[in-house]
Structure 1
Amino acid sequence: MHEIGAPDADFLQADLGSNLPFDADIFDGVVSSLAFHYVREWGRLFRQLRRVLRPGGWMVFSVQHPHADFEEYEDAQNYHERERVSTTWDSFGDEVVVPAYRRPLAAMVTPALNAGFRLEQLVEPTPTEEYRRADPERYEYEATRPNFLCLRFLLPP
């Protein structure tokens, strides 16, 4: 049973770095939260997403802001290049080294445009007042520096 008024949705999982195992023109939209930075080649990714989206479809995704990535990854060398970087997560008990790909803003937007998408909206979120109350020290940092980037792209009908 689902909540009254809630839309029905299927959630699917796939390897974003390879050909997506779905037929063409079957999805209305794609949402990705903080996952694309694990994919090396965004040109292929966006061509695959265009293939599986219906005409008029949309794609919304969030990533760490490219400036934040460059500032926070110790192994980042050149903002203007795509670079393989890594960070250590220790919040799950054991330390785990997690690789990712850091890239400049243009390298985030251009592959989607080249795949036929149109940029509809770009948002650089700022922290809320609730966040200020919960973590004042981190709030001050994030209120003056970009941390996340949210983008919405559309396909022509």
Structure 2
Amino acid sequence: MRDWGPTLHELRRVLLPGGRLLVSVDHPFVAYGSQQLAGGSPNYFDTYNWTFNWTVGGRTVPMSFWVRPLHAMVDAFTTAGFRIAVISEPQPVPTARELFPEQYRALTTGPGFLFFVLEAV
């Protein structure tokens, strides 16, 4: 979904004023940093589709994400008629240390996701 505009406008249309939309997205620095570490030269300010392989449970599957800089997300939300009430960079829950002991440090010291609370105006 390269252009969020139509979807965001439709979501805003069906919400009453003051209604909320909760959005979770990959932190924009995740793709940028990962691609730099892999020897690439990404442009943080571009919007593009990024596909890579994830191996989970012994099975490898392609994962595809739309990468957007933070200002592009903010612009899309406000243009669609939302006010940003909260932007959060969440930390893992404490049980993540037990479930993912080898990845725990990376999960707690680098960006992963952004959560937005949007209010219809």
Q: TM-score per shorter chain, which class?
A: 0.7 to 0.9
CA distance in 2, matches of 1:82, 1:76: 14
Equivalent of residue 64 in structure 1, options 12, 20, 26: 26
- What are the superposed Cα offsets for residues 105-135 of structure 1, whole Å, 9 maximum, x if unpaired? 1111110101110000011011232211222
**98-107 or 117-126, larger mean C-alpha shift:** 98-107
- Residue 68 of structure 1: how far off its partner (Å): 1.2
Percent pairwise identity: 35
**Deviation of 1:70 (Å):** 1.7
Q: Tell me the equivalent position of 1:40.
A: 2
Taking structure 1 as the reference length, the TM-score comes to: 0.66
| Residue of structure 2 equivalent to 1:116 | 81
Q: Is structure 2 residue 110 aligned with structure 1 residue 148? A: no
Query: Per the alignment, do residues 95 and 128 of structure 1 end up closer, same or farther by CA in structure 2, a change over 3 Å counting?
Result: closer
In 1, Cα distance between equivalents of 2:66 and 2:112: 16
TM-score, with length taken from structure 2: 0.84
How many angstroms apart in 2 are the aligned matches of 1:72 and 1:92?
22
The range that moved more, 80-89 or 126-135, is 126-135
Query: What is the aligned counterpart of 1:130 among 81, 95, 98?
Result: 95
Q: Larger deviation: 86-95 or 59-68?
A: 86-95
User: What is the rounded CA distance, in whole Å, between the counterparts of 1:58 and 1:79 in structure 2?
Assistant: 29
Please say if 1:84 is aligned against 2:65. no
SS in 1 for 2:43: coil
Q: Which has the higher contact order (CA 8 A, sep 6+)?
A: 2
Matched residue, 2:67: 102
Root-mean-square deviation (CA, aligned residues, Å) is: 2.0
Query: Partners of 1:65 and 1:110 in 2: how far apart?
Result: 16
CA change 1:85–1:114 in 2 (3 A) is same
In 2, Cα distance between equivalents of 1:104 and 1:114: 16
Segments of structure 2 that go 5 or more residues without pairing to the other structure are none
Max Rg structure: 1
In the alignment of these two chains, the number of paired residues is 118
